[in-house]
Structure 1
Amino acid sequence: MLALVTGAAGFIGSHLTDRLVADGHEVIGVDDLSSGRNVRPGVELWEMDVADPALVERAAVRRPEVICHLAAQVSVRASVSDPLADARINVLGTANVLEAARAAGGRKVVFTSSCAVYGVPDALPVPADAELRPASPYAASKVSGEVYAAMYRQLHGIDFTTLTLANVYGPRQTPEGEAGVVSIFTDALLSGRPTKVYGDGTQTRDYVYVLDVVDAFARAAGEAGGGRRLNVGTGLQTTDRDLHTLVAEAAGAPDDPEFAPPRLGDLPAMAVDPR
């Protein structure tokens, strides 16, 4: 199978590329190398922005059988401060990927979404068929991507699966941005720098290991999607304060974070039902 992975040099995308190659597949990686340079030797790299129209032209020639779309602007805070930049990457970029799939012959797409699309749900863990209530431009852009994918399925017969991810952690995650809380705490505590918890520490997240996420992508890439949305998480909630304690103990560092006001767009609690 020839697979095209957008965001292939980033945190999750590089692990997915490793997995697909190990499974015997040929992989084309698409990445502008702005948030990672984890490029596996032997992988065909197209160094470009995900919204570049040249992606469509090259996909028409190479005709990948599946596109795993992970390239994205992933910061809620950045999306609030510059929603147009967020939309350019996440909305226009996704539309460009879907056009690439159409140019390649109506192939399968695995679309990466976020549990942020659920907003403040009625109950936790939130099921995959819950109402979407985006509370930030980032979340809205992910909802838009799923709507675009459904439209391309209806108009052009492109099969797709949406994987709605909880808070992913693991090797190669950078401490930049606000999404990688585990790596942010780990990097700061190992370096002896102060740490910061936003809110009173009771905010909860659902943490899922990156290789478990990669397994979900590998399975979705090889199966008919039918336009389904699937949650990828554990269904378990961990408070920011408890996470800080766990990381501090593992790092042998003091467990005394600074507390700061909650950030605009942050959700008070989240866990997804993976069933």
Structure 2
Amino acid sequence: MRVLVTGGAGFIGSHLVDALLERGDTVTVVDDLSTGRCGRLAVRVAFHQESITDGKALAAIVADARPDLIYHLAAQADVRTSVADASGDTGVNVLGTVNVLEAARTVGARVVFASTGGALYGAISAIPSPEDARPEPAAPYGAAKYCAEQYVALYNRLYGTAHAVLRLGNVYGPRQDPAGEAGVVSIFCGNLLSGRRPTIFGDGKQTRDYVYVADVVEAFLAAAEHGGAGVWNIGTGTSTSILELLEVIAATADRAVQPVFAAARLGELQHSALDVTRAGRELNWTARTALAEGIARAYQWIRDQDGCDVEA
């Protein structure tokens, strides 16, 4: 297939690109390199440094590449940044998604959109949260992602497309930069490797659904193979607290840890886990990597990069 990946030089996107190349696809990557790294990409990739917020430039790239499938992963993904700059977050996550949908429409490409599960469902949702739970995001990031999902659904109704949405849990693994809330595994690993005390915002009892990046890549491939429209949670269905997560990382590093506690951050949900029953039934997908195993791989990767200041 001819496949285009927005955000393909990013943490998740670069792993997805590797999987696409391995199966023989022709891959084009669009990434503005705000958080992506060219060093993550193989030389066989056609790379364009461009932002999805530039609709004309994106349309020209898509028209030239003529992909059969577009994986849309490019995003402003930091909850704190979205609180500080809701307009900028909307520009990337909503208007940028509309640009992707429009470009895809001109060449007849199907879109698989990377949304969020952890930031979307809200405090009143059942845990683990099913896809039909009412979204009540606590931050502009979650609101923008949900708005983008509505545009995906609108295009499916309006144009008869079969675009799909994956609502991701907290993805972790090798190549994750040690910055941002979603990168807490990488941050803590980097802290331990450099001898710094990890900072926990809040009491550490807040929970997330941590899913390993290789499992997420398999979900993207499964959604494309499915061929139809749909919304699927991609996680483990298990809640892990920050304190429990730190215990696993400390055991991996084989050292005692005393965290520093700081005030909770605005816009962050207290508890989150995703019901993945639908993905198992319709995509034949389930997360296979245990948390301790995935953390060991992430820790080893950061250690191989000589600490937490990584660019790869």
After TM superposition, the score normalised by the length of structure 2 is 0.85
Question: Secondary structure of 1:84's match?
Answer: helix
Displacement of 1:154 in angstroms is: 1.5
Consecutive unaligned residues of structure 1, counting only runs of 5 or more, are none
Q: CA RMSD in A?
A: 1.1
Partner of 1:270: 272
Q: Which amino acid aligns with 1:85?
A: G
- Residue 292 of structure 2 is matched in structure 1 by none
- Alignment deviations for residues 24-78 of structure 1 (CA, whole Å, 9 cap, x no partner): 1111111111212112221011110111121112212322111100000001110
**2-side partners of 1:234 and 1:197: how far apart?**
23
What are the Cα deviations for residues 131-182 of structure 1, in whole angstroms up to 9, with x where unaligned? 1111110001100110011111122222111000001010000011221110
Distance 2:235 2:125 in 1: 18
Counterpart of 2:251 in structure 1 is 249
Amino acid at match of 2:12: I
Q: Which runs of 5+ in 2 are unaligned?
A: 278-312
Which letter does structure 1 place at the counterpart of 2:15? H
Matched, 1:100 2:103: yes
Instruction: Name the % identity.
Output: 51
1:4–1:64 Cα contact (<8 Å) kept? yes
Determine which of 169, 173, 180 is the counterpart of 2:172: 169
Normalising to structure 1: TM-score of the pair? 0.96
1:258 to 245, 260, 263: 260
Query: Does the 8 Å contact 1:57/1:103 carry over to 2?
Result: no
Is 1:109 the counterpart of 2:107? The answer is no
Alpha-carbon spacing, 1:49–1:220, altered in 2? closer, same or farther (3 Å): same
- Which of 47, 54, 57 lines up with 1:54 in the alignment? 57
Cα offset, 1:103, TM superposition: 1.3
Q: How many residue pairs were aligned?
A: 273
Q: Partner residue of 1:28?
A: 28
Q: Which runs of 4+ in 1 moved over 6 A?
A: none
Name 2:223's counterpart in structure 1. 220
**Shift, 1:245, TM fit:** 1.4
Task: Compute the displacement of 1:201 (Å).
Answer: 1.1
Q: Are the counterparts in 2 of residues 51 and 88 from structure 1 also a CA contact under 8 Å?
A: yes
Aligned counterparts of 2:64 and 2:245: Cα–Cα separation in 1: 47
Where 2:226 maps in the other structure, the secondary structure is: coil
Counterpart amino acid of 1:34?
S
Q: State the one-letter code of the partner of 2:116.
A: S
- Structure having the higher helix fraction is 2
Residue equivalent to 1:74: 77
What secondary structure does 2:215 align onto? helix
User: Retained in 2: the 8 A contact 1:237–1:270?
Assistant: yes
CA deviation after TM superposition for structure 1 residue 248, in Å: 1.5
